[in-house]
Every structure is written in structure tokens, then in C-alpha cells.
Amino acid sequence: MPELPEVEVLRRSLGARLIGETVERVRVHSPALREPLDRRRLRRDVAGRRVERLRRRAKYLLIDLTAAGDDGATSASGDRTLVVHLGMSGQLTVVPAGTPHERHEHVAFELATGERLRLVDPRRFGLVFSLPSARLESDRHFAHLGLEPLGDGFDGPALARAARGRRGPVKTFLMDAGVAVGVGNIYASEALWRAGVHPKRSVARIAAVRWERLATAVRTVLESAIAEGGTTLRDYADGEGNSGYFQVSLAVYDREGDPCGRCGAPIRRIVLGGRSTYYCPRCQR
DNA sequence: CGTAGACCCTGCGCGC
DNA sequence: TGCGCGCAGGGTCTAC
């Protein structure tokens, strides 16, 4: 359900609530997620620690924890990171004390304030685990990841380099986490429309100018979506349970048959790599 | 090696 | 009203 912008909006809204708070206990209600929740490890790594900061890598939310009472300047080796991935249907929110247990609430982190940070995930494609912070980079979930599209080094030449020797449609390429992270099914279609590139165009047939245009389009569409609070089509919500607004700005995604905002031609839907893909047959080549 | 497809799972909206 | 079907914003594994 969430792509990079949604996770980034979540990071910011949760940060305001969580930084400085101590997790008193961990309740695992239903361990069945993409990988089974490790109750003992979560308790050991998370319970009794204080939230230092929230980061994001790709579509993973990283919650850095330190021993409570620690001023942060010492014992860095004891720091842990709680990693949360929302999959397709995950919602991570802070709810007040006494909020009833919800169907599909897999895990809850009870704070000293009485509130709890809980993950509700009906489809169970989400992921929650903890590890020593120092081991993040080498962890198998992160080791193979490509460029952050909002970070340094994401530009036309970098995309062109990554495409060298490869074939296949550019949309699939943009969504390959080994190339660049965070671009999911919505924003891949949106970025291609902005750049005027046909989703099925082979990566072997894209010139330098168009790679540059694509890199810019990816960055601007993600930044705009963050500014609008993300896209809520069905069930995305930030840490307070609020919806995003970017769905009104979507140019092509889920708009089959609607007139293209640039040329008026009806938006088309095709399937690429098993995923719905939307584009304008006239302005995307 | 890279790429295409199946698969994991529940819920919802649609057409009949 | 009820049912079956297709579809859903992610990632990983297998077969070619």
C-alpha cells in the first residue's frame, strides 16, 4: 500500500509523537507476517528502550532505540533499531490507552504514556523485526538496495549506468529495488507520464536526455506526494490515522478512460510484470 | 546472468 | 441478497 512518500509522511508524523518516549512493553498478538515475528527478540531489543529518532530506507521505517536513561552519547554499541515495513495493507498508528484491540492487530508497543504504537495489517505482507543498529547496512533486507531517489547520486547518468546491458520495459526497471528504491506501482506510472516516456519502452532504447527527464520526474513526483501527505486510495494513513491528498493530483494512476491532462487522449491501462500500468498513448513514447 | 510469472493473504467492489 | 471474480500501493522465490 505505501510507497516512499507514504512511508516518509508516516516517519515525520510518528516522529513527533514518539521521539523521547520509552517503550514499556511489547505485545505480539499474531506473529504471522511476511516473516514470523520474533517475540523474544523484539522484547529483548525494544522493551525498556527510548526512541531516539526515526529514519527511512527505501520503504522501510527505521525506529532507532537507545537504553532508557542513556544520554545518547555513550554505549552506542547497545543501540537497537526496530524495522517496520507496511507491505500492502499495513497501518502503523499511535492510539490512546484503552483503545480496543483491532482485528489484524499483529503487534503493539506500549509506551510509558499509556498509548500504544500498533501495527494493523490484514494482508500480512508487512514485516517487523529488530536488530543492533550497527548491523543495519549488512542486513539481508538492505544489503542489495539501490539508490535513494531523494538522495545524492540519483540522476540521469546513474539511471543510464544501471540500465547498461539490461533489457525489458522501463517501468519494471524503475520499480526494481536494486536500481532505485521506493518507487512503487503508483509513482512509476506517474513519473513516466511526467517524463513523457512510454512504460513499455525498452531500457536499451532510452537516450541520455530522457534518463535525465525521468530522474527529475521521479524526484518531483515523490516530493509533491510527500508535500500532499501521500496518496490514500484505499487505506493508507499516517501515524495519526490521517489520509493523504495526493490522489487528487494523480495524472494517470487509476484513471483509465479519463482524458489526459496534457493532450486529452483517454488514459490507457495495461498490465506489466503483473501490475496495472496507466499511461497516455499520445504523449508517452 | 536477467527477466517473467507464481505466490504469499484478506477485503472490497462489481456484475450477474 | 448472495456469490464468484478480479483486483489491490510489496517483495521474494522459482523456472526459464
**A91-108: pLDDT as tens digits:** 999 999 999 999 999 999
Helical ranges in A164-207 per DSSP H:
170-174, 185-195
C-alpha cell at A101: 484491540
A122 beta carbon < 7 A from strand B?
Answer: yes
Contact A236, A200 (CB under 8 A): no
Average pLDDT over residues A119-127: 97
CB-based burial of residue A149 (10 Å sphere; 0-12 exposed, 13-18 middle, 19+ buried)? buried
- Least confident window among A5-9, A58-62, A71-75, A281-285: A71-75
Q: How far is the CA of A213 from the C1' of B4 (A)?
A: 28
Of the CA atoms within 13 Å of residue A230, those in its CB half-sphere come to 28
Quote the distance between the C-alpha of residue A160 and its chain's center.
24
Beta strands in A112-261 (DSSP E): 116-120, 127-132
Q: How far is the CA of A272 from the C1' of C5 (A)?
A: 21
Q: Is A3 an active-site residue? A: yes
Q: Which helix (H) or strand (E) holds A108?
A: strand A105-111
Q: Which of A12, A21, A275, A281 is catalytic?
A: A275
| pLDDT of A26 | 98
Q: How far is the CA of A135 from the C1' of B5 (A)?
A: 33
CB-based burial of residue A197 (10 Å sphere; 0-12 exposed, 13-18 middle, 19+ buried)? buried
Chain A residues 82-101, Cβ below 7 A from strand C: 85, 87-88
| pLDDT of A76 | 55
**A216-264: pLDDT as tens digits:** 999 999 999 999 999 998 888 898 989 999 988 999 999 999 999 999 9
| pLDDT of A75 | 56
Average pLDDT over residues A48-52: 97
Average pLDDT over residues A29-49: 97
Does A74 have pLDDT greater than 80?
Answer: no
CA A165/CA A185 separation, integer angstroms: 24
